[in-house]
Homo-oligomer: A and B are copies of this chain.
């Protein structure tokens, strides 16, 4: 990865004066347009920076997001589309609302089309049609979880989708989705480029797992572990409610354990956190079962939080299944754990009671909490500013607390993971007192 590549695609030079009443000078009490060469540094540790030259041309940085003085589109002739793909995540409706409100009120875009049921909605044969989105239509949707547009998984024909875009004269397509969705968006953008159409494609990264590369956090993630928090307390009640009670909570996290680790850290009654990033054994001296036995001997109850993608090496690697989006369908580690634990303690004649809790659908379908709500609204605003400026094939995201543009392909080529050598995971281990070797 090379920072020199962090250049954002553009439909062309923006020549239209922005309708926003902003300023170009500091100190006048009015928000300033963002200059094209404002950038945000990626690595902010001074020791790492020392190796770069003083102009930082070599240090990785991202383009700052925000309203530009010149925009590319004339609002009154602009048609926007919004599509939501993949699984639910708290805050989707806040993002939709934010896009509609800022297109309408800030820039004066009148025609905004909701694309129903993900990329399917761009394929005529499904017959889903469009939903006309207006401020009146979206004003209360932030109160609800889910997505008012509906969603679907899986790829669709890129040329067919671009046909629909062309036919409906859509000038900007906001795609709210995860890895697969963003790859699709980039492919749409490439096809648009080939056809030389005036349509910007913007990605608003949505992954409840928080595993989008390069950015601080993805929307919905904080709400996710906010909702998981009392559920872990419930699990603790179940564990202590029985002699040698063991409660297992499976949380989302296909390839990274951010939700599991954060939830466990936020409700410090968890004794074991198992995440995809770590390898661990069930059996043997250093295995989970032995550690669990010791915990039970000592305290008579235990709480285990496991990310859905953890421990996949424990399954017989016969065949892998994938969902319609191409995500590897994990075998259920929660149920495996439950069964293995029951078997083991039966074998050693140590009576226990195991309770297994899988709250995934309850978490992902909830409305955004307050901090996520703020984040979603701001993401939406910044996405609209970038789109109006004619930028394309980028995502908006937060980097070190600032909103930036990143080329889609830079965030899709790798997933963010918990650094097992980092201070966050160390905090989790400190907090749980995790007793076994990983």
Binding site for B on A (CB under 8 A): 23, 26-32, 35, 37-41, 44-47, 49-50, 52-56, 59, 61, 64, 66, 88, 97, 101-102, 105-106, 116-117, 120, 126, 128, 142-148, 150-152, 216, 222, 225-226, 228-229, 231, 233-238, 240-243, 245, 247, 262-263, 265-268, 323-325, 327, 331-332, 335-336, 339, 355-359, 361-362, 365-366, 369-371, 373-374, 377-378, 381, 400-403, 420-423, 425-427, 430-431, 433
Contact of A266 among B126, B331, B370, B402 (CB under 8 A): B370
Contact of A241 among B35, B120, B151, B242 (CB under 8 A): B151
Contact of A54 among B52, B234, B357, B371 (CB under 8 A): B52
Contact A44 B327 (CB under 8 A): no
Residues of B within 8 Å of A32, CB to CB, are 421
Nearest CB in chain B to that of A46: its residue: B39
Contact B339 A335 (CB under 8 A): no
A32 to B240, CA, bound (A): 35
A408 to B162, CA, bound (A): 58
Residues of B within 8 Å of A262, CB to CB, are 370-371, 374
Residues of B within 8 Å of A400, CB to CB, are 44, 400-401
Residues of B within 8 Å of A339, CB to CB, are 325, 327
Contact of A373 among B128, B229, B362 (CB under 8 A): B229
Residues of B within 8 Å of A142, CB to CB, are 267-268
Residues of B within 8 Å of A38, CB to CB, are 45-47
A401 to B399, CA, bound (A): 9
How distant is A27 from chain B, measured CB to nearest CB, in Å?
8
Interface of A, secondary structure class, is mixed
Contact A47 B41 (CB under 8 A): no
Contact A370 B52 (CB under 8 A): no
How distant is A288 from chain B, measured CB to nearest CB, in Å?
17
Contact A88 B237 (CB under 8 A): yes
How distant is A177 from chain B, measured CB to nearest CB, in Å?
13
- Given that A142-B268, A241-B151, A370-B229 are known contacts, is A335 also in contact with B325, CB under 8 Å in the complex? yes
Given A235-B365, A323-B335, output 8 extra A-B contacts at Cβ < 8 Å: A41-B41, A105-B430, A146-B238, A151-B242, A225-B370, A238-B361, A238-B365, A377-B431
Contact A430 B106 (CB under 8 A): yes
How distant is A407 from chain B, measured CB to nearest CB, in Å?
17
Contact B361 A355 (CB under 8 A): yes
10 A-B pairs within 8 Å (CB atoms) are namely: A41-B41, A41-B46, A101-B431, A102-B430, A143-B143, A148-B240, A150-B245, A234-B361, A323-B335, A357-B361
A215 to B432, CA, bound (A): 27
Contact of A421 among B26, B35, B40 (CB under 8 A): B26
How distant is A331 from chain B, measured CB to nearest CB, in Å?
6
Residues of B within 8 Å of A116, CB to CB, are 243
Residues of B within 8 Å of A420, CB to CB, are 29
Contact of A56 among B49, B102, B241, B265 (CB under 8 A): B49
How distant is A319 from chain B, measured CB to nearest CB, in Å?
12
Residues of B within 8 Å of A37, CB to CB, are 47
Nearest CB in chain B to that of A126: its residue: B243
Contact A46 B54 (CB under 8 A): no
Residues of B within 8 Å of A425, CB to CB, are 31
Nearest CB in chain B to that of A355: its residue: B361
Nearest CB in chain B to that of A25: its residue: B421
Complex A-B, nearest 4 residue pairs according to Cβ-Cβ distance, in ascending order? A146-B237, A54-B54, A266-B370, A237-B365
